[in-house]
A and B are shown apart, each in its own frame.
Chain A
Amino acid sequence: MRTSSPWKLTIRYTLMALFAAIYIFPFVIQVGNSFKSDPAATANALNPIPNPADLSAWRQIFGVGTAASVTDFPRWLFNSAFLSVTITVGRVFLDSLAGYALARLQFRGRKLVFGFVIATLAVPGVVLLIPRFLMLKELGIFNSYQGMILPMLVDATGIFLMRQFFLQVPVSLEEAGRVDGASIWQVYWRIVLPVVRPGLLTLTILSFQGSWNEFQFYEIASISPKYYTLTTGLANIVGGGLSAGNEYPLKLGAAALTIVPIGVVFFMLQKYMRPGGMAGAVKG
């Protein structure tokens, strides 16, 4: 039987505590400084406890008591939420449909479609910026909600993930349903889909996280401030949309607003968010 000597454990605990502090510290600094005045945050950034506390950044974020400003946070928040929910619903529905067909239905061209999905997995998102901009222009949906949603509505990763989940469902389940006279759609919707609920939940979380945090694509898909999301709006004020001072408390508060919803989802549903959540999404 192996044991671990106390001093070895102490080293492990010390390292763990040190790195935990390094991972947490920036968030503490961020939240603390968002409750300071601009000069205070600039002058004494290290102290996370605001003294005196200054709520002007948060007032501005929630649009309380300030004149119309360059920053319309409620609108950004709405856009982020609206786009993320729409895209997530679309992805969960369409990715699982395609995943099911690729896992179970024998149709002509299935291998070709699967090969196509696998090939698109290899395309790095960052080189898609110009191509997608071109296409949005061609279709006349640049700078519109449709243009920001449609290209995001399906992702090859999600199709692949769902296929792996469907492959694990015993075929006998479907055969029983089909013998009883259910159509392919009924078998899929009533019998198979409820069985893969964990997969659907994983895909929901990953899609929501991905579309909430999305920046590059929204940046090139729209140009009007009314389409700003929390990420593109925040990037814009950091890029110099504000004139007076550094406005660090405001930026840090807006960044916190971007992080918090994902943080809530993360701490509630962590087990579905592990990188291993895509377990089995391996076979090519």
Chain B
Amino acid sequence: MAQVSEGEGTRDTGALPARVAVAEAARTAQDRRAPARERLGQRKPTGRLRKGENLFGWLFVSPSVAVLLLFLFIPILLALYVSFTNWSGVTNPLSSSVKTVGLANYKLLLNQPGLYQQNFGTAIRNNLYFVVFTVPLQTGLALLLAVVVNNKFLKAKGFFRTVAYFPSVTSSIAITVVFMFLFQGTGVINTLLGFVGIQGPNWLFDTRGVFTLIYNAFGVNNPAALVNHQFLGLNLWGWVAGPSLGMCVIIIMLVWTTSGTFMLFFLAALQQISEDLDEASEIDGATPWQRFRRVTLPMLRPTLVLVLLLGFISTWQVFDQVFLIGPDNPATITPAYYSYQLSFQDSNFGAGAAVAFLLFCLIVFLTVLQRKFIREDLTR
């Protein structure tokens, strides 16, 4: 079994669960020993010794069960109910003044043309591009760094691991503040770009999609075929816009933050690969690329699947970064943030909860997928 992620730092819901998950890929050897241990742990004690276990068992778990029920399970049911109402956040959501509106909130988002649908579609578009760029980049960079560092003749490996892992244990809010400073109009990035003669854009405020900029460079602008067709409140020209420049900052930031962590996943897995195998293939005359492609990569498959799926799960939850950059740049708004915005800023908790539930379903689906894949890989 495995867990959700991301990343970064806060109950970073992310960081913590990622740690649960790494074990799966990295310590397969240990897993194989686990069933024996399990048997040992569950050995039936004698009758006399079992006395009181029922009472103490419940005494021990009840505080935790109470907290999880009260602040996780029941609230989710309550929010599901609110997503079928017009609650504004002021009165008690269970009071009689709150009206149930059936599926109206969901319709508003999914198939009723208007501002809600347009914002929701835009949020989905933004997040889709975010996922499509972030996940392959962070996975690829992590794998590259792991392969580079995994060499027994190399010194200062420990130092490098520390440096690469550090960003992901720090606060995502603090990191975002630093990146906003780096990418501000007269900031470090634009100064560096200036050295090579490029005038950097105003990253944080720029809502233009990077693909749109490329199309424009080739003289394509607002083609009628795309502009006249809509999906989820957004025309097709909007859908193919690519990530906005503001979103690019969040992508770069996330890749920078998470690649070190995922590098450790791959390093742990690489160290499990027998050196004999690698040497044998070298003696057989395989080129370095062939060895990587045919020997190393297949052995890394479980870790690769894990890292990819953890990436997909965490990138659909990006929130903290958008909280800081989003108000200045609507082209960075994600469903997670839109749900917050609808509820806590527009006092439309019904619609906000509906967005949260659509997101919830998506992430749970990805998590189930992950658990299924991981189990298959570990039991092969």
Contact = CB atoms under 8 A, between A and B. Distances in A.
Interface in A150-190: 150-157, 159-161, 166-168, 170-171, 175, 178-179, 183-185, 188
A123 B72 contact: yes
Contacts of A278: 19-20, 22-23
Interface in B27-48: 27, 30-31, 34, 37-38, 40-41, 43, 45
B319 A170 contact: no
B56 to A, nearest CB: 4
Interface stretch (A50-58, A59-67, A261-269): A261-269
Contact of A234 (B166, B173, B192, B367): B173
Interface string A218-245: 0110000000001100110011100000
Contact of B343 (A26, A103, A130, A230): A130
B178 A30 contact: yes
Nearest to A231: B173
A130 B356 CA distance: 8
14 contacts: A12-B154, A23-B256, A45-B187, A116-B65, A120-B68, A167-B38, A167-B41, A175-B49, A209-B169, A235-B173, A275-B19, A279-B27, A282-B24, A282-B34
B27 A280 contact: yes
Interface string A191-229: 000000000000000100111111111011000000000
Interface of A: 2-4, 9, 12-13, 15-16, 19-20, 22-24, 26-27, 29-30, 33, 41-43, 45-46, 94-95, 97-98, 100-110, 113, 116-118, 120-135, 137-138, 150-157, 159-161, 166-168, 170-171, 175, 178-179, 183-185, 188, 206, 209-217, 219-220, 230-231, 234-235, 238-240, 246, 248, 251-252, 254-256, 258-259, 262-263, 266-267, 270, 273-284
A22 to B, nearest CB: 7
Given A33-B181, A46-B188, A255-B174, A275 B17 contact: no
Interface of B: 1-4, 8-20, 22-24, 26-27, 30-31, 34, 37-38, 40-41, 43, 45, 49-50, 52-58, 60-61, 63-65, 67-68, 70-76, 78-79, 82, 92-94, 145, 148-149, 151, 153-154, 156, 159-160, 162-167, 169-182, 184, 186-188, 191-192, 256, 260-261, 264-265, 268, 275, 279, 282, 313, 316-317, 319-320, 323-324, 327, 336, 339-340, 343-344, 349, 352-353, 356-357, 359-360, 363-364, 367-368, 371, 375, 378
